[in-house]
């Protein structure tokens, strides 16, 4: 689970497995989450699109009957990364290799004085030796901050929706695949220019300063199936403040995925598929849902109690 939907949810599964999880901070959930689930159909088959929150709690399960039915109906599942890549021990090593500096500079030289001071304060507060960051590129530091902050709030990548369905598919013997390769995801981060990487660190520190309330608001919006609330909370600000980063993380990847989803719909036969990706990829006019609608496919929101009137 390498790249995630915004700087709050750009996380690598298991990257900071030793980070403390303060489960006591987690509020009690009530009822099954309302799914961010759409069904895209042509004449003979369908693709279910399910929006994931990549770090969840035990209280977020079980899922709704609509999601279970979509899984039962699907002959195969697709994720951002295939289970083989996502669960490979080599994945964290690839990330670390990409993150190590090879330009002879230090992180402190990349950041302005104010950001370095804020990072120093965050590192001291969280017991992270600041010197350990100096050998890494800024995008990796921003990623680390996001992971630490979310795990402190009782959210666990091992409980993310992707991992849940990877495990279910394995038990059920259903074929799985990925929409992209791990090296491509790493390349999205490692390919940021210097300005984007500085923005990444700044955004991560800003979110850390806001504390758990911001992340919990998004988590609760996901549980409500509130597509508009998630769009406003996760994407609108990012698109406005960091347009190049938004384009790289969201739009370009959506554009690459749509033809692969169309291929499932156009192939002979009536096999259906369940596609589980980060929620942001399905939302807004840049999302996969609207892109498939624009190409003439029948698209419907699947749930009995969707927020925003089922939009």
- The predicted pLDDT at position 214 comes to 77
- pLDDT for residue 309: 41
CA distance 98 to 207: 24
Residue burial 254-290, b: 16+ Cβ < 10 Å; e: rest = beebbeebbebbeeeeeebbbbbbbbbbbbbebbbbe
pLDDT of residue 39: 98
Q: Residue 18 burial by CB count (10 A; 0-12/13-18/19+): exposed, middle or buried?
A: exposed
Q: What is the pLDDT of residue 305?
A: 59
Residues of the chain with pLDDT under 50: 1-27, 307-311
**C-beta separation of 172 from 83 below 8 A:** no
- What is the structure's pLDDT at 226? 95
Residues facing residue 40 across a β-bridge: 47, 299
- Residue 306: predicted pLDDT: 59
Separation of alpha carbons 200 and 273, rounded Å: 34
Sheet holding 46-52, edge to edge: 176-178, 76-79, 273-278, 46-52, 37-41, 298-301
Residue among 173, 175, 178, 192 at smallest CA distance from 10: 192
pLDDT at residue 7 in the model: 39
């Amino acid at each position: 689970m390498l790249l995630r939907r915004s700087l709050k949810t750009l996380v690598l599964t298991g990257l900071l497995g030793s980070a403390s999880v303060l489960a006591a901070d987690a509020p009690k959930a009530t009822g099954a989450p309302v799914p961010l689930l759409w069904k895209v159909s042509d004449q003979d088959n369908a693709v279910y699109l399910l929006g994931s929150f990549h770090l969840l709690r035990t209280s977020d399960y079980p899922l709704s009957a609509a999601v279970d039915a979509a899984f039962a109906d699907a002959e195969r599942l697709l994720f951002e990364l295939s289970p083989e890549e996502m669960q490979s021990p080599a994945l964290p090593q690839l990330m670390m290799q990409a993150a190590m500096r090879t330009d002879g500079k230090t992180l402190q030289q990349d950041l302005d004085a104010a950001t370095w001071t804020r990072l120093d304060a965050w590192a001291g507060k969280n017991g992270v030796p600041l010197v350990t960051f100096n050998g890494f590129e800024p995008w990796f530091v921003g990623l680390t901050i996001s992971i630490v902050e979310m795990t402190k709030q009782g959210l666990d990548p091992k409980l993310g929706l992707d991992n849940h369905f990877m495990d279910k598919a394995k038990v059920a013997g259903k074929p799985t695949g990925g929409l992209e390769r791990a090296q491509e995801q790493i390349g999205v981060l490692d390919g940021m220019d210097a300005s984007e990487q500085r923005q990444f660190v700044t955004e991560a520190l800003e979110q850390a300063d806001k504390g758990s309330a911001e992340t919990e608001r998004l988590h609760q919006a996901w549980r409500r199936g509130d597509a508009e609330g998630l769009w406003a909370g996760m994407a609108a600000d990012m698109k406005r403040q960091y347009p190049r980063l938004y384009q790289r993380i969201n739009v370009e990847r959506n554009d690459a995925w749509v033809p692969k989803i169309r291929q499932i719909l156009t192939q002979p036969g009536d096999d259906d598929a369940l596609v589980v990706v980060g929620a942001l990829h399905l939302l807004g006019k840049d999302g996969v849902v609207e892109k498939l609608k624009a190409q003439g496919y029948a698209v419907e929101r699947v749930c009995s109690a969707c927020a925003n009137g089922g939009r």
